[in-house]
Amino acid sequence: MVAKTFFGFEEILTKELRNLGAERVEQGNRMASFYGDIGFMYKANLCLRTALKILKPITSKKIRNEKELYNFIQSIQWNEYLDTNDTFAIYTTVNSTIFTHSQFASLKAKDAIVDKFRKETGERPSVDTEYPDLTINIHIQQDLCTVSLDSSGGSLHQRGYRTMTNIAPINEVLAAGLLLLSGWDGQCDFLDPMCGSGTLAIEAAMIACNIPANLNRKEFAFEKWLDWDMDLFEKIEKACLNKTRDFHHTIIGSDKAPSAIRKARQNVENANLTDFIKIQDSNFFESSKEGEKQLHMVFNPPYGERLELDAEVFYGQIGDTLKQHYPATNAWFITSNLEGLKYVGLRPSRKIKVFNGKLESRLVKYEIYAGSKKAKFQDKS
C-alpha cells in the first residue's frame, strides 16, 4: 500500500507506520510504501496522523500510448471491485511525456471500464465524482501506469470534528505533523496562544492521549467496497481505543477573537475532548506563562497572506512576549512570512522547511530558558 503525505512529513509518516506494525516500510517523496493485510489497511486509515490517503495498488504495467492504456485498464477484473449498479470515480496523476493531460487519461480509463462491463453484462456502472462507491487512482510515471484503489475517500485531514472554521484554518494533518516534528509527546503542559478554531490543541490532545486520529470521521471509502468487513473494523477500532493513555498535564488554546473562542470550543466538544482542553479568551501579547513547569508551545500566527499585519511590529511582539513572559518554554510556530522572522529578535534553535498549502513555510523553534541561558549551562557543568 501507499500512504500519501505532505512535503517534510515523510520521515514521521514512516515512523508512524512502523510503530503501527506495518511491514517493509519504505520512505518516498511525499509518501511511504508498506505492506499489510486488509485489517492493517483499516488500522492505517483510522490511526495515521500524517497520512492524507491510503492507496491500495492492484496492478501496474508499462504502456506506450492511449490504446495500450485502454487495453491495460480493460484487462483488470473490475467485477471483483465493482457491481453494475455501483458508482465510481477516477483520479489520475501524470508525470510523463506520453500522457500530458490527466483528464484525458481518466476519460480513456473510464471508457475502458464502462465498455468492459457493457460487453460482459449488457449494463454499466455510472460515474459519480461526489459520492462514488469506488474511487480509482491512476498514476502514470513516464511509461509505468499504476492502478490503485483509494481506501480513504475524502482526504484524511477531514477528521470529522471540525464543523466551525476561521478565515485561515490549519489543515488537521499539517497540524498533527507540526506537533510531531516539534517532539510533542504529551509529557508536559501545552499552549497554542493563537488557537483559531482549535485544531492544534485538539490534535495535541489526541497525540497526548493516543486517541486514533480519525476516530470521529464519518466514513472511509473502504466501507463501500465489496469485501468490507464491519466486524473486523470494529474489532480493530476497539483494540486501538484500548491503547489510549492518561494525560496528567494541561492543554490550553487561547485567542483574542470571541468568534475563534466560540468555534474552538464547539470543535473541542465535537472531538469529545472537553476534559483535556481548556479554551480561553486571551491576547497573547498581554499574557504570561502560568506556573513554573516546562511548557510546550505550538502555534500558527497570521502570515499577512489573508490577514493584514505589520510584520515588523507583529513578529517583534512575538519575540518580546516569549522573552519577557514565557520562561522554561519550547516555543514553535509556523510561518510563510520569512521576512517577519527577522524581527522576532531571538535566534531559532531549529528551522524546518514545510508547506502550508502552496506556501513555502518554516517551522521554527525558540528555546526560552528559566533565568539566563548562561546560568542554565553553568548549572549543568
pLDDT of 293-341, one tens digit each? 999 999 999 865 455 678 899 999 999 999 999 999 999 999 999 999 9
Q: Based on the domain organization, do 122 and 192 belong to the same domain?
A: no
Band of pLDDT at residue 375, cut at 50, 70 and 90:
very low
Average pLDDT over residues 13-26: 97
Mean confidence (pLDDT) of the chain: 92
Any domain includes 355: yes
Q: Based on the domain organization, do 226 and 134 belong to the same domain?
A: no
Band of pLDDT at residue 351, cut at 50, 70 and 90:
very high
Helices and strands of the chain, counted as H and E runs? 10, 15
Any domain includes 162: no
User: Using CA atoms, how far apart are residues 253 and 270, in angstroms rounded to an integer?
Assistant: 15
User: Using CA atoms, how far apart are residues 266 and 286, in angstroms rounded to an integer?
Assistant: 25
Q: Based on the domain organization, do 331 and 196 belong to the same domain?
A: yes
Q: Based on the domain organization, do 193 and 125 belong to the same domain?
A: no
Q: Evaluate whether 207 touches 186 at the Cβ level (below 8 Å).
A: yes
Of the two residues 165 and 334, the one the predictor is more confident about is 334
Q: Based on the domain organization, do 145 and 188 belong to the same domain?
A: no
Percent of the chain whose pLDDT exceeds 70: 94
Estimate the crossing angle of helix 230-241 against helix 38-47, to 10 degrees.
50
The pLDDT tens digits of the residues spanning 147-157 come to: 999 999 989 99
Band of pLDDT at residue 374, cut at 50, 70 and 90:
very low
User: Using CA atoms, how far apart are residues 3 and 15, in angstroms rounded to an integer?
Assistant: 12
Q: Based on the domain organization, do 95 and 243 belong to the same domain?
A: no
The CATH number of the domain holding residue 259 is: 3.40.50.150
Q: Based on the domain organization, do 136 and 176 belong to the same domain?
A: no
User: Using CA atoms, how far apart are residues 110 and 93, in angstroms rounded to an integer?
Assistant: 15
* Domain range for 310: 172-211+221-380
Q: Which residues contact 26 (CB under 8 A, 6 or more apart)?
A: 14, 32, 33, 34
The structural domain count of the chain equals 2
User: Using CA atoms, how far apart are residues 186 and 363, in angstroms rounded to an integer?
Assistant: 19
Q: Which amino acid is present at 225?
A: W
Any domain includes 216: no
Residue 338's φ and ψ, nearest 5 degrees, are: -65, -25
Q: Based on the domain organization, do 237 and 143 belong to the same domain?
A: no
Any domain includes 167: no
User: Using CA atoms, how far apart are residues 22 and 44, in angstroms rounded to an integer?
Assistant: 9
Q: Based on the domain organization, do 306 and 184 belong to the same domain?
A: yes
User: Using CA atoms, how far apart are residues 22 and 129, in angstroms rounded to an integer?
Assistant: 31
Q: Which residues contact 229 (CB under 8 A, 6 or more apart)?
A: 38
CA distances (Å), origin 49, targets 24, 46, 82, 175, 178 = 19, 9, 30, 9, 11
Any domain includes 159: no
Burial 150-177 (b: 16+ CB within 10 A, else e): bbbbbebbbbebbebebeebbbbbbbbb
Q: Which three cell numbers stand for residue 325?
A: 513572559
CA distances (Å), origin 84, targets 128, 130, 152 = 13, 18, 22
Average pLDDT over residues 212-228: 94
Q: Based on the domain organization, do 183 and 144 belong to the same domain?
A: no
Any domain includes 142: yes
| 330 DSSP β-pair partners | 296, 367
Any domain includes 33: yes
The model's pTM is: 0.91
Any domain includes 166: no
Band of pLDDT at residue 379, cut at 50, 70 and 90:
very low
Q: Evaluate whether 53 touches 41 at the Cβ level (below 8 Å).
A: no
Estimate the crossing angle of helix 102-121 against helix 66-74, to 10 degrees.
40
Burial class of 28 by CB neighbour count within 10 A (0 to 12, 13 to 18, 19+): middle
The CATH number of the domain holding residue 136 is: 3.30.2130.30
Q: Based on the domain organization, do 250 and 373 belong to the same domain?
A: yes
Q: Which three cell numbers stand for residue 84?
A: 453494475
Q: Based on the domain organization, do 261 and 322 belong to the same domain?
A: yes
The pLDDT tens digits of the residues spanning 44-86 come to: 999 999 999 999 999 999 999 999 999 999 999 999 999 999 9
User: Using CA atoms, how far apart are residues 91 and 106, in angstroms rounded to an integer?
Assistant: 6
Q: Evaluate whether 328 touches 293 at the Cβ level (below 8 Å).
A: yes
The pLDDT tens digits of the residues spanning 248-298 come to: 999 999 999 999 999 999 999 999 999 999 999 999 999 999 888 999 999
Burial 110-144 (b: 16+ CB within 10 A, else e): bebbbebbeeeeeebbeeeeeebbbbbbbbbeeee
